[in-house]
Amino acid sequence: MTKENQNFLSSHTNMETKASQLDQLRSVEAKVSKLIARYQGLQRELGNAQAEIKRLETALGEKEQEIKNFQNQENIGKIVNTIAADAANTTELKLKINEYIREIDKCIAYLRD
């Protein structure tokens, strides 16, 4: 084999190696692109899930507050019935207590904001 033939074979082998490496590089780039796209999709899903959790926590807090308000009204009604002897005083006392409750609720709402 002549020197020219050896150089040609060596050059040809180098080109095949470079082409193979280039194919591998393209394959790795494609896989990385897929991973990035998947990561971004999962990040969006996570953000949506976190927003939903916050929304549900807020709704839960509001419902808990409503339950407390109803329980307070029930307790006040029981107290009024115990304190007031006649119907006229009972109604008047209930109205006054409900007025106080509304004012307190307004104050609580103001403090939240």
This prediction's pTM: 0.50
pLDDT tens per residue across span 36-91: 999 999 999 999 999 999 999 999 998 888 888 777 777 777 776 666 556 667 77
Greater model confidence, 89 or 34? 34
- The three-state secondary structure class of 86 is coil
32-36, 47-51, 95-99: which range is least confident on average? 95-99
Q: Residue 31 is part of which domain span?
A: 3-112
E strands, 53-94, in order: none
Quick one: which of 64, 78, 82, 76 has its CA closest to 102? 76
Token pair in block for residue 15: 């080109």
Taking the C-alpha atoms of residue 70 and residue 108, their distance in angstroms, rounded to an integer, is 15
Place of tokens 């004012």: 103
Number of domains in the chain: 1
